[in-house]
A and B are shown apart, each in its own frame.
Chain A
Amino acid sequence: MIAFWVLAPIMVLAALGILFARKAVHAALLLAVVMISLSILYLVQDAPFLFVVQIIVYTGAILMLFLFVLMLVGVDAADSVVETIPGQRVMAVLLGLAFGGVLTLGVAQVSVQAAGLAEANAGGNIEGLAGLLFSSYVFAFQATAALLITAALGAMVLAHRERLTPKLGQAELAAQRMRDYAEHGKHPGPLPAPGVYARHNSVDTPALLPDGSISELSISRVLAARGVIGSASDAADIDRVTRQIGRGADADDDVHASHEGEGADGPAEGHDGTDGGRSWT
C-alpha cells in the first residue's frame, strides 16, 4: 500500500506530463517513468515475472524503438496546432470524458479483492505461469507466436529492397578509381583535409594550397552551399580578436591602421571587419 501511494502520484504526474510536454522525447521519457512505476506495482503485488517482462518488453524494447524514431526523424519542433479534421477537438474532449466516465463507473462496480493469489503462486510464480501457458493456453500462446513471426516477416518484406546492381567490393572500387583517373584525370587518393592552423581547425576552414590559394576540395559541399566557409588567414580576424581581448589603446590603433591599409582588398575582409565592430559595441 505504501508503494501504491508513493508511485500513484508520480505516475499521474508523469502521465499528465506526457500530455503537456512540448518535446516528443520528453513525453517518451515520462512514458518510461509511468511504465517502470507500473512494473514496480506488479512486483509489489507478487507478480515478479510480470515485473521483469514489463520492463524488458515495454521499457527496454518498444519504447526504445519509439525513441530511435523520434531522435532520427527529429520530431522536436513543436507540433502544428492546425486542426485537419473539423471538430476534432470537441469530439476528442467529449469522447475522453465519456471514456473516463465509463471507466470510473466500471471500476467502481468492482470490489478489489485479490482472490487465490497465494494459491496461484504456490509452486512459484514462474512455474505457475509456465504451467498455465503450456497447458490450458497453449493454443493461444502458439497463435500469438505465429502472429508475431508473421508481423516480423512482413516488416522484413516491406523493408527489403531488391539489389539492381552488383555489390562493389574493395577491389572493384579501387579499379573504378584508377579508371576514373585514367579517363577523366580524377585524383585517385582521398580528398584533402580541412586546414589546421593556430587558431582555426574546424571543418569550415579550407586548406591552403602551396601558392596560398584555397583548396576547394578540402571543404564540405554542404558547408559551401550554406555559405559558412571561414577563411584561413585574415588580418581582420586578428584585429577582431585583439579587440575582444581588449589590449592597450596603442596596440589597438596599430592594428586598426594595418587593417585599414588592407581593407580594400576583398569583400571577405570587409565582412569580418563589420563583424568585429559589432562585437565591440
Chain B
Amino acid sequence: MSDGLSVFGQDPVWLILVKALLVFGILVLLTLFNIWFERRLVARMQHRIGPNVNGPFGLLQSLADGVKLALKEDIVPKAADRLVYVLAPIIAVIPAFLTFAVIPFGPVVDVPFTDIQSPLQLTDMPVAVLYVLAIASVGIYGIVLGGWSSGSTYSLLGGLRSSAQMISYEVAMGLALIGVFLYAGSISTSEIVAAQERLWFGLILLPSFVIYMIAMVGETNRAPFDLPEAEGELVGGFHTEYSSLKFALFFLAEYINMATVSALATTLFLGGWRAPWPLSIWEGANEGYWPILWFMIKVIGFICFFIWLRGTLPRMRYDQFMDFGWKRLIPIALAWIVAVAVIRMISLDAGFDRRYLFAAIGVVAVLFLLMLFIGEEEDEGDEVLSDEPFDAFAGGYPVPPMPGQKPTTTRATEETD
C-alpha cells in the first residue's frame, strides 16, 4: 500500500497548481462539450438536427448560452433566506470540482521541459473512493439548502426529493463499490486501476457494475430518475427560483457530477486509463500521455449512455423509484456482496475449481433475482384468504387484520373521499 502511493505528494507547488488548474479547465470544457453533445445526440434520436449554427458543428452554442445565462438579471425572491440562497449554489458546485482531484487520468509521466516525473492525477489517498462519496454527500447540501432557502413550496419539495433520492442511491452505490474494494484490496483510485491490469472489474463484477450504473443515474438526478426537477409536478424543482449565474452554477454542478460518476465508473470498472483490449497489444498504449485519450473516450462513452437513457426512457413515478432503490437494488447489492466475499474467500484459501464455483454462484444469483422480481405478484395471488370477510371497522373502532385475513372494502369509499 505504501509503495503504491509513494509517488504522490512529491510534486513541487507550481506543478500542483498547474494540475489543479488543468483539472478545473478540463471539467469546465467537458461541461460545455457535454451540453452541446447532449443536445446534438438527443436531437439525432428525435430526428432533429440540434444546434449547428455557432462555431464548427455548433460547438460554441453552449458557450454562447453560458454567457447569455450569466448576463441575465439576478433575482432574489422576497421570501428567500438571502444568505443561504446565495451560498447554496456555491456549496453545490465546489464539491463537484473537488471530487476530480483523486481521479487518475494516466500513469506516471515525464513533465515536459523539466526532469520531474509525476502521475497524471492531482492527488491520491488511501481512502480516495470513500473521499468521493463523502464529498458528494456534502454537495447534496447545496441542493437541499437551495430548495429550502428559496421560500417556495416547489423548491422545498424538489430539494427534499433530491436529497432523499441521493441519500438512498448512495447506499446502493456504496454497496456496489465494496466488491471492487474486495478484489482490488485497496480503496485508492490509482491502485484500483493498477489491479485491473489483466481484467476489468466491470467483467469480473458485472452485477456490481450494473448496480453502480443504475445508482449513478439516480445519484446525478438524470432522466429517468430526474424527479427533483419533474417539470410537470414541481416546475423546476430545487432551482425553480434561481436565475442568472446562480442557476448556471447549479447547472454546472449537475454536469460535473455526471462527469465525475462517469470517471469513477471508468476508474473502478473499465480499467481507468488503461487501453481497451485490441489497443493494449501495442506496447506504448499505456505509457506517456496516450492514456488520457483512452480515459476520455471511456468517460464520454458513459456520458453517451446517460444521454441515451434520457432520450429513451420516460420519467419514473417517485414511489416506484424509491421502492426500486430500497426494495430491489439494495437487497440485490447486499446478496451480491455476500457472494463476492464467499468467492474471494474460497479462491484465496482453498484450491477450488473456479468454473464450478462461478456456475453455482450464477445459478443462485439468477434464482435470487427471479425471487425478487416475481415474489411480489405471487404474494398477492397466493395469499390464503380466511373464509369470513374481515371488516376493520366492525366493532366501531378500527382493529388491524389477523394474519391471513384481507381487509374488505366496507368503508373504503369513505376513506378515499
Contact = CB atoms under 8 A, between A and B. Distances in A.
Contact of A56 (B2, B133, B159, B412): B133
Contacts, number: 103
A58 to B, nearest CB: 10
Contacts of A176: 413, 416
A176 B417 CA distance: 10
B270 interface: no
A64 B163 contact: yes
A244 B133 CA distance: 54
Query: Chain A binding site: helix, strand, loop or mixed by DSSP?
Result: helix
Which of A26, A124, A165, A166 has the most chain B CB within a 10 Å cutoff? A165
B217 to A, nearest CB: 20
Contact of A166 (B127, B163, B408): B408
Given A49-B127, A56-B133, A68-B160, A166 B407 contact: yes
A127 B1 contact: yes
B407 A52 contact: no
Interface residues of A, number: 34
Interface string A57-86: 001110010011001100000000000000
A163 B411 CA distance: 12
A168 B412 contact: yes
A78 to B, nearest CB: 14
A164 B393 CA distance: 8
A56 B130 contact: yes
Interface in A159-210: 162-166, 168, 173, 176
B126 interface: yes
Contact of A165 (B131, B135, B412): B412
B126 A60 contact: no
Contacts of A60: 134, 137-138, 140, 167, 170
Contacts of B145: 25, 29, 67
Contact of A52 (B134, B399, B406): B134
Contacts of B83: 26
Interface in A1-34: 23, 25-26, 29, 32
Contact of B148 (A71, A123, A126): A71
B133 A166 contact: no
Interface of B: 1-2, 81, 83-84, 125-127, 130-131, 133-135, 137-138, 140-141, 144-145, 148, 156, 159-160, 163-164, 167, 170, 187, 392-393, 398-401, 406-413, 415-416
Given A26-B83, A51-B127, 19 more contacts: A26-B84, A29-B145, A49-B126, A55-B134, A59-B134, A59-B137, A64-B141, A68-B160, A71-B159, A124-B2, A162-B400, A164-B398, A164-B399, A164-B407, A165-B392, A165-B411, A166-B409, A168-B412, A168-B416
